[in-house]
């Protein structure tokens, strides 16, 4: 566990293949596809979709009473790993399925929360119920150690960055990402793409820590559905 904690602190992300049972992944994937169907509607404004290049449709299954998703949070290994990274008293925030349909842009480069204070951040605990491949698209891209580099630089929201690493999570993979780490998702080629994020945070972190998201061309506040800062190259 200490080695995993050290790798996360160094890189700002961690990938563990075959973490979850295949049978559970199939069950959850079927529930996800049953909820969304093939052509769900986007929930955000056209302005957000255009500037953020982020075509993700959220679903909060636990809030909807879908108990099958609780099993992930009860996993003792996940609890132990989360505590080793976040410290005692850490809290879960919510479980959010992020769904993208075929032809979607994926997600532009972003940080889940402003990196003003290194001690205030969220932890993305991403569970993959189906394979991500070059054929399906939707690859996860991260810049290692960028959680220590401050604000995501201004620029093209989807341009490649130096030192980026492209990840291809398979069914059952667990990916942990620090909320200050620069990350994005590539366009979707397959029928659909989903991941389920069991977000957590250290003790004392504000509940709304992810309300403001940092993109390369703006800062966006989800609670008001407003762009609060246009970020432009001076």
Angle at 170 (CA atoms; ends 140, 79), nearest 5 degrees: 85
Q: What pLDDT is stored for residue 77 in this prediction?
A: 97
Distance CA 131, CA 116 (A): 35
| Per-domain boundaries in the chain | 2-230
Does position 5 have pLDDT exceeding 60, yes or no?
yes
Q: What pLDDT is stored for residue 47 in this prediction?
A: 59
Residues 6+ apart with CB under 8 A from 3: none
Specify the CATH superfamily of domain 2-230.
Answer: q2cbj1_9rhob like domain (2.60.120.620)
- Report the mean per-residue pLDDT for the chain: 92
pLDDT band for position 40 (cuts 50, 70, 90): low
pLDDT band for position 232 (cuts 50, 70, 90): confident
Q: Which has more pLDDT, 79 or 1?
A: 79
Share of the chain above pLDDT 90, in %: 83
143-196 residue pLDDT tens: 999 999 999 999 999 999 999 999 999 999 999 999 999 999 999 999 889 999
Distance CA 212, CA 182 (A): 15
Cβ atoms of 200 and 122 closer than 8 Å: yes
Mean pLDDT over residues 44-54, rounded?
54
Does position 229 have pLDDT exceeding 60, yes or no?
yes
- The pTM (predicted TM-score) of the whole model is 0.93
Q: What pLDDT is stored for residue 208 in this prediction?
A: 96
């Amino acid at each position: 566990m200490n080695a995993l904690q050290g790798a996360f602190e160094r890189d700002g992300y961690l990938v563990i293949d075959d973490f979850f049972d295949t049978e559970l992944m199939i069950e959850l994937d079927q529930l996800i596809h049953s909820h969304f169907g093939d052509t769900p509607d986007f929930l955000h404004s056209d302005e957000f979709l255009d500037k953020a290049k982020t075509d993700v449709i959220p679903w909060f299954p636990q809030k909807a009473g879908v108990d099958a998703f609780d099993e992930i949070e009860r996993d003792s290994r996940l609890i132990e790993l989360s505590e080793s990274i976040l410290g005692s008293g850490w809290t879960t925030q919510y479980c959010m399925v992020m769904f993208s349909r075929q032809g979607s842009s994926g997600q532009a480069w972003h940080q889940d929360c402003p990196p003003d204070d290194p001690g205030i951040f969220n932890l993305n605990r991403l569970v993959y119920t189906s394979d991500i491949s070059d054929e399906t698209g939707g690859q996860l891209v991260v810049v290692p150690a960028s959680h220590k580099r401050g604000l995501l630089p201004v620029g093209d929201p989807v341009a490649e960055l130096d030192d980026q690493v492209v990840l291809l999570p398979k069914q059952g993979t667990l990916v942990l990402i620090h909320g200050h780490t620069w990350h994005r998702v590539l366009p979707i080629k397959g029928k659909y793409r989903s991941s389920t994020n069991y977000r957590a945070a250290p003790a004392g972190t504000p509940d709304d820590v992810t309300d403001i998201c940092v993109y390369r061309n703006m800062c966006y506040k989800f609670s008001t559905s407003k762009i609060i800062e246009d970020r432009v190259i001076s």
